[in-house]
Chain A
């Protein structure tokens, strides 16, 4: 049994790190349990010539492929999309493109505006100052002034000039008269903060940034939390949350790096373990008082799981675009089809994330069997025509919450510590399918307008489950939601959730900046109300 902490944070990723930093800064005794470890910057693959091979192994974004000791398996036999995540200090902000568009005001009023899903119990304007504060703190490259989004504070850094890749996209966008804007990118182009270098455009941000240019949690909030006195315990695999006699969370039972079971006690517990890890932990925390899992009197824990279903559309050009150079995912964003348009045959919308293209191995491999470049005499000619000649558009649809899309506990798989693994059951809705189909057609139109001679697409990209949302949703009614507007569990007054699990709806944009803004808001509230809620 360890000393009593004021605040126990589970997960040192995008959201948990924010709360740990804020509460430690406010003078609270904070302990963070993280099942992964620090990634030594010198071990990132980009320091090696053979870096691309690590995409297939230890730096793969899929835990079922990576199979590191700190990972847990996810049963995906009933899902057409594989969930992606990384378990380390910094969490999935290590495997990140750093593309951080915000939600729009309409995303918080989905029911009111479009008659589907639910409204959030807060609005954009309540969250806006937290978006701004988060951006200023982590360092963002971008431009304010986008007429399709509310005004925002000046970005930390101005984006680079359009390169050949950007020019090719803009050629098509201007021809079609569509919306586009340089992406808000969670990266810095000049040194910023402690020990962080400006981006040098090496390319594969999605396997981690070895120079700290990406504004990931392990180079921003986590070290600052520690500087403010937080204790970070790595390789700590939480088995379950434990309760006191009052039914409040007394702390967490976890396996330490030597496999010994420990208990960390705390007055308040905060979960930031992502949209699969958080419901898994709650469902694994059964007790006589909570026989179907902690905070689950509504039977909503694990339900309403949302991805952002993705279709990838790729164009090949005669011209050499240098499209392997530069931050892979944060270039240009088109929100032309963001808001609901009934003419599309679907409600809500999608974004077109205009990204860079493959590296040499990736170009040779294509996207999956059947897409490999041909072997033999024609191979090099094919590679010359593909490598650095491609543009890739990610069609990212808003997914709507559906009760049957859910995370449950596996009855057959466990992690390395014998804890039941997560099972994902997910069906792509007709609405999401229609959005993707519309998006594929529009992305094809854009690439052709940009000059592509060949355009191909995946109707649904399997290895694209980056965003895990909705499984402990926020709401005012305890009978159909898990947490209140502050992320506080309806059933357990000293338990908070701050990751993507609490999303009511998903919007059609990458969620991390919204996750961090919500976490900052919860942390502020917790600082002010700590003694009211602490056990």
Chain B
């Protein structure tokens, strides 16, 4: 894998190979695992979203491809049998990710930012959280009724320092 970001796109218009996408899904599941109603990352569009961001923003390619490569290398060190990251025990996966986070903090941070972005912009996640997806046209219209109670300002009217005349 070339982490310079200069690698040509995949034939289907995406950036990640099938192996990289698979690795990314496994990694994202450790970053954002399932919890109660919140789905694990692999059950959302988070990995595809990151691939889309890579296609649109070439400046993301070096860090994201770089961190995936670093995870692959760290996995090989941990796992001489070469079963791959996805087949490791969860605690071992986390240990690998912590090591990469420490050795490549900027790349790892980039992966985290894009993973969180992909995860929390997924409609299934938004539905669980309870935010409109999309925000428009519904918004939160009921909160905008013009019903401010001016009596709430009585204390301010009585005590506020006046403006300086000039």
Task: Mark A residues whose CB is within 8 Å of B.
Answer: 44, 46-53, 56-57, 104-106, 108-109, 112-113, 123-124, 141, 143, 145-150, 157-163, 170, 174, 177, 179-182, 189-190, 198-204, 210-211, 322, 324-326, 336, 339, 359-361, 364-365, 369, 372-373, 375-377, 379-381, 387
Contact = CB atoms under 8 A, between A and B. Distances in A.
A247 B11 CA distance: 59
B121 A49 contact: yes
B113 A380 contact: no
A387 B166 contact: no
Interface in B54-85: 56-57
A375 B148 CA distance: 41
Given A104-B166, A203-B140, 20 more contacts: A47-B134, A49-B122, A49-B123, A51-B121, A52-B121, A109-B166, A113-B166, A148-B161, A150-B163, A157-B146, A163-B143, A200-B139, A202-B138, A202-B139, A324-B131, A339-B163, A339-B164, A360-B120, A361-B117, A365-B116
Given A202-B140, A325-B140, A372-B116, A113 B145 contact: no
A51 B162 contact: no
A52 B117 contact: yes
Nearest to A104: B163
A105 B131 contact: no
What 10 pairs across the A-B complex have the smallest Cβ distances? A200-B139, A202-B139, A50-B121, A380-B35, A109-B166, A158-B146, A200-B141, A364-B116, A360-B120, A201-B140
Interface in B123-138: 123, 125-126, 129, 131-138
Q: Which of B33, B36, B94 has the most CB of A within 10 A?
A: B33
A367 to B, nearest CB: 12
Contacts, number: 190
B110 to A, nearest CB: 10
Contacts of A365: 113, 116-117
B31 A379 contact: yes
A146 B31 CA distance: 49
Contact of B150 (A143, A157, A380): A143
A223 B141 CA distance: 26
B165 interface: yes
A141 B153 CA distance: 16
Nearest to A209: B136
Classify the secondary structure of A's interface with B. loop
Contacts of B86: none
A203 B134 CA distance: 12
Contacts of B121: 49-53, 360-361
A41 to B, nearest CB: 10
A181 B154 CA distance: 11
